[in-house]
Amino acid sequence: MRQKIRSLVVRGMLAMIRFYQKHISSRLGSQCKYMPTCSQYAVEAITKHGPVKGLGMAVWRVLRCNPFSRGGYDPVK
């Protein structure tokens, strides 16, 4: 039962990110300094590490993506 709830949470989070990628980010153009983009990083982090740790990693990544950062290649570990 717990695994089923976790799976539903992950699928919901990924659906929201995919909506952002398809309907919002595609209209704004890529502005992320990192590779993969912050939204793709979030997808990979949540898929690999689960909803809690993955979301934390994604939030930390977005906070690092600012005008003062150098950016570059930063894969999910």
Where exactly are the structural domains of the chain?
2-73
- Give pLDDT, residue 1: 85
- State the pLDDT at residue 10: 97
Nearest to 16 by CA among 42, 49, 37: 42
Q: What is the pLDDT of residue 26?
A: 86
Report the pLDDT value the prediction gives residue 30, as an integer from 0 to 100: 77
- pLDDT at residue 63 in the model: 95
Q: Which residues of the chain carry a pLDDT beneath 50?
A: none
Q: Which residue, 40, 35, 36, 32, is CA-closest to 63? A: 32
**Residue 34 pLDDT:** 95
Report pLDDT for 41: 98
